[in-house]
Amino acid sequence: MLEHRLNPDLAAQREVLDAIAPQVRALMERHRQSRKLWMPSELLPASEHTDANHEAELREIRSRARGLPDSVRVALALNLLTEEGLPHFHRLVAQYLGHDGVWAEWNNLWTAEEDRHGCVLRDYVRDARLFDMRALEHLQYQYLEAGFNPDWRADPYRLLAYTSLQEKATQTAHANAGRIAGQYEPKLQKILAHICADEARHYAFYRDTFALVLKADTNRALAALAAVAPSLAMPGHTIAGYAQMSEVERRAGIYGPREYLKLVEDLVKHWAIDALDGLSAVGRAAQEKIMQLPARLARMADYIESKAHTRSFSFDFIYQRAFEMAAGTAR
Ligand SMILES: [Fe+2]
Ligand SMILES: [Fe+2]
């Protein structure tokens, strides 16, 4: 590839990806063994042969869903839109990890699993009549048409660092949304729990794959993590109203800088970043930057919380109803 001739680092990284392929295959097999493959229609009746019970179930879902607070609806919309960004991610994984062998097999398996998340959430919000669907669909359309091209300089390690963080972030967001939604709508909590279980296993795959890279090519892996982790480029930032939606999600205690800080801390600990030694100057600088990151993220979270005031929000997809939220998070 031209990129490899221009950048010898990339050729070396490709060799590392080839060398760890057998271990990555073992991680993929572990994933296959441990997963439970569910289908969206097992969670929500959808067959031609719906019976009276199914009709009654749908009516109950609708009636319970009416009680969901608007803040939870907004978080759910953002989490749904994030899942629907899958075409961007399928492309990025193929672009950064390649179109052959175990990397392509994983990309296809992972994409097939992820696709169910957007499907089941969309089935739910449609069946439950949670949104002005046209307004939501318009956001989804915009998000896909806008593309998503993070500046990872063709570095495959950045993709692996990013996906490790992002899988945990989505798992956290779905889990917290489910916990809160469950007070009103147990069915929604059940659906979110199914998605969470997938995200937890995806996280384990990417985290352990990145650990292999960290072992085989420590300095470059540290540099990639140091480049990606300080400000995780959120894929949905091109969505109109994204900042306001994220702010609602933060205030609802579903996902925000505190949750990100926690998952960065967990990963830094899991990978034992502080214990890595025999590093080059570049590796040492990256290690230092990563070790300082939790404190930096904590300061950012403090700052955001200190600047926040009670505020009113409204979105087209909830018919521009205005709702107010206090400055802090509702944990
Ligand atoms: Fe997902
Ligand atoms: Fe996932």
Q: Is 194 annotated as ligand-binding? A: no
User: Tell me, what's the pLDDT at 238?
Assistant: 82
Q: Is 202 annotated as ligand-binding? A: yes
User: Tell me, what's the pLDDT at 328?
Assistant: 75
- Reference 140, options 313, 318, 258, 317; nearest CA is 317
Q: How far is the CA of 161 from the centre of ligand 1 (A)?
A: 17
Q: How far is the CA of 194 from the centre of ligand 1 (A)?
A: 10
Q: How far is the CA of 281 from the centre of ligand 2 (A)?
A: 34
Extract the runs of DSSP E, i.e. beta strands, from 250-314: 311-313
Q: Is 90 annotated as ligand-binding? A: no
Q: Is 309 annotated as ligand-binding? A: no
Q: 178-213 burial by CB neighbour count: b if 16+ within 10 A, else e?
A: bebbeeebebbbebbebbbbbbebbbbbbbbbbbbb
**How many other C-beta atoms can be found within 10 angstroms of the C-beta atom of residue 241?**
18
CA dihedral sign of residues 279, 282, 285, 291 = negative
User: Tell me, what's the pLDDT at 3?
Assistant: 57
d(CA 173, CA 167): 10
Question: Are 118 and 38 spatial neighbours (Cβ–Cβ below 8 Å)?
Answer: no
Q: How far is the CA of 4 from the centre of ligand 1 (A)?
A: 32
Q: What is the residue-wise DSSP string for 152-167?
A: -TT-HHHHHHHHHHHH
Q: Enumerate residue ranges in the chain where pLDDT < 70.
A: 1-6, 233, 329-331
Q: How far is the CA of 203 from the centre of ligand 2 (A)?
A: 7
Q: Which residues contact 218 (CB under 8 A, 6 or more apart)?
A: 276, 278, 279, 283
User: Tell me, what's the pLDDT at 308?
Assistant: 93
Ligand positioned closest to the Cα atom of 85: 1
The neighbourhood of ligand 1, an ion, using CB within 5 A, equals 83, 114, 117
Ligand positioned closest to the Cα atom of 86: 1
Q: Return the CATH architecture of domain 13-44+58-325.
A: Orthogonal Bundle (1.10)
Q: Is 167 annotated as ligand-binding? A: yes
Q: How far is the CA of 325 from the centre of ligand 2 (A)?
A: 29
Dihedral, CA atoms, 40, 44, 49, 54, nearest 10 degrees? 170
What angle, rounded to 10 degrees, do the helices at 70-83 and 101-127 form?
Answer: 150
Q: How far is the CA of 158 from the centre of ligand 2 (A)?
A: 17
Instruction: Give the residue extent of every domain in the chain.
Output: 13-44+58-325
Ligand positioned closest to the Cα atom of 164: 2
CA dihedral sign of residues 164, 88, 191, 80 = positive
Q: Is 199 annotated as ligand-binding? A: yes
Q: How far is the CA of 27 from the centre of ligand 1 (A)?
A: 19
